[in-house]
Structures are given as structure tokens and as C-alpha cells.
Amino acid sequence: MRSLRYTSFFALVSVYGVMVLGSYVSAAGLGLSCVDWPTCRGTFLPSEEIMAEWVHRLFALMAGVSVITMAALSWRVRNSRLRLTATLAAVFVVTQIVLGIIVIDSRLHPLVVSIHLAIGTLLFACTLLSALTANRIYRESMQSVK
Ligand code: HEM
């Protein structure tokens, strides 16, 4: 229960971070600073020019791992709402990573970028609901122990 609480909090911070970084990349016109995948200009090492997009991808990786772990842990808890929101978050995070690649392949097509923003918002909403529910379940379980 404690691991689910911490994992969901870490997932929430990672998803929030990747969204803020994504909007920075977009607003600064850096969307095509890395045109290859999974490397960035042929390397995994960051440089100043590609830092924003590189960190966006790094946070996307952290968000992917933590959201999928959260979804797996949610199935250990008998709470259908938590299972639903956490599983939807896992589906959205995988979709979002694939969409990120399509954003670049499409050379920042406005429709694809808008869908990337829309799915990111749904992902954040599901992760937030999961983290709140996991926190409530953890607190209730602590109270019943006392
Ligand atoms: C959890 C995964 C991800 C989330 C939540 C996310 C979220 C976002 C958000 C909110 C934006 C700003 C969109 C806007 O302001 O209209 C953005 C931009 C962007 N994302 Fe992601 N992203 C994720 C993964 C990825 C990945 C894996 C890639 C690349 C392989 C990627 C590539 C981009 C690019 C290139 C932009 C800039 C688009 C532009 O210049 O208009 N994203 N992302």
C-alpha cells in the first residue's frame, strides 16, 4: 500500500514535469531540435542545444515507467475506481510516447501536436485521480491499524 502511494506520487510529479517541459519545447520553437529517435542527434548524451527536448524525453521515460508500475500495483488493491484510472493512465502514457514520436515524424503537424496535448491532459487527470485515491486508501488502512 505504501509503495503504491509513493509510486503514484512520483508518477504524478513526472507527468506534470513532462507536460511543463513539453510546453517549453513548443513555445521556444525547439520541437525539431532532436529529429531522430531514440537517440538525439545520434547520441544519448545531452548538449546545450538539445537540452530541453532531451529532458522532455527523459521525463517521458520516468513517467512511462512510474505510471505502468502504478497501474500494476493498483491491481493488488480491491478498489475498482483506482484500477480503472490507473489502467487508463497506463494506456494513455504508452499512447503519448508513441504520439511523441509521430509529432516529430510529422514535423510538428498541428493536429498531431494538439492530440499530443489532449492525451497528455487525460493522462494527467487519470494520474491525479489515482494518486488521490491511493493516498486515501493508505490513510484509511493506517487508521484501521490504530
Ligand atoms: C508521458 C509522455 C509525454 C507527455 C505527457 C508529453 C506532453 C507534451 C506536452 C503537454 C507538450 C506541449 C504541447 C503544446 O504545447 O501544444 C509536448 C510537446 C512536445 N512533445 Fe511531448 N510528451 C510526452 C512524450 C514525448 C515523447 C516521447 C516525445 C518524442 C519522442 C515527445 C515530443 C514532443 C515534441 C517534439 C513536442 C513539441 C511540439 C511543438 O513544438 O509544438 N513527447 N509534449
Contacts 24+ apart (CB under 8 A), 71-74: 73/3, 73/4, 73/7, 74/4, 74/130, 74/134
Ligand 1 near 123 CB (within 6 A) = yes
> How crowded is residue 83: how many other Cβ atoms within 10 Å of its Cβ?
17
pLDDT at residue 42, rounded to an integer: 85
pLDDT at residue 2, rounded to an integer: 87
pLDDT at residue 126, rounded to an integer: 98
pLDDT at residue 46, rounded to an integer: 74
pLDDT at residue 41, rounded to an integer: 84
Tally of domains in the chain: 1
Ligand 1 near 103 CB (within 6 A) = yes
Cell of 18: 513532462
Q: How far is the CA of 100 from the centre of ligand 1 (A)?
A: 5
Q: Which residues have a Cβ under 8 Å from the Cβ of 114 and sit 6 or more positions away? A: none
pLDDT at residue 34, rounded to an integer: 87
Q: Of 103, 138, 135, nearest to 117 (Cα)? A: 103
pLDDT at residue 49, rounded to an integer: 79
Tell me the residue range of the domain where 101 lies: 2-145
Q: How far is the CA of 94 from the centre of ligand 1 (A)?
A: 13
Query: What is the mean pLDDT, run by run of 10 residues, along the chain of 146 residues?
Result: 94 98 95 86 82 92 98 96 98 97 96 98 98 96 81
